[in-house]
A and B are shown apart, each in its own frame.
Chain A
């Protein structure tokens, strides 16, 4: 079966750094994605990891360890607009994505 776990909610302060973890157990693995989703809107793509290591893109970075079934999304210099849900998703076969439950991040002043 497929199992993707991430914390339900997190709170952080504007300007700080926050790390959102994701662990997965899937029957196959073709890559791991992080999406940002604001309430009532569609998810928007943030990052894609298929090899172990850290991918940095501006204020956002994503890390993957395939041997540990683990990934994290790192958000730096938090802004109020970063308050959203962050979805971890695994491509386990045929371009089909299995999503985790999502982490609701609240950024406070």
Chain B
């Protein structure tokens, strides 16, 4: 299966600053990647679908101007949390869609964001 990495694995930032999270598919060319957010003791919530070379598709209730997604290559998608607030503190996880079936959706290790 695909190997997916995320960087950084954890980050602490001050309120009002922006944070960029990278998701890399190390051995697979990913046309589509997904970004999830997970609050403590809750399940994963899909934020957006990242499509290589085109605009991301955001889920209802997710502010596209606040969560900027760029998928400029087949191996890299980035999520930038702009003007972060403490309520944005969460575990952000990306996954790679192999395109064959969701049986082969591979998850990255996640990024823990804490906004102080």
Contact = CB atoms under 8 A, between A and B. Distances in A.
A33 B45 CA distance: 15
Contacts, number: 53
A97 B102 contact: yes
Nearest to B108: A42
B32 interface: yes
Interface of A is mostly: strand
Interface string A77-109: 000000000010101000111111110100000
Contacts of B44: 43, 87, 89, 97, 99
Interface of B: 32, 34, 41-46, 49, 91, 93, 97, 99, 101-103, 105, 107-110, 112
Interface of A: 30-31, 33, 40-45, 48, 87, 89, 91, 95-102, 104
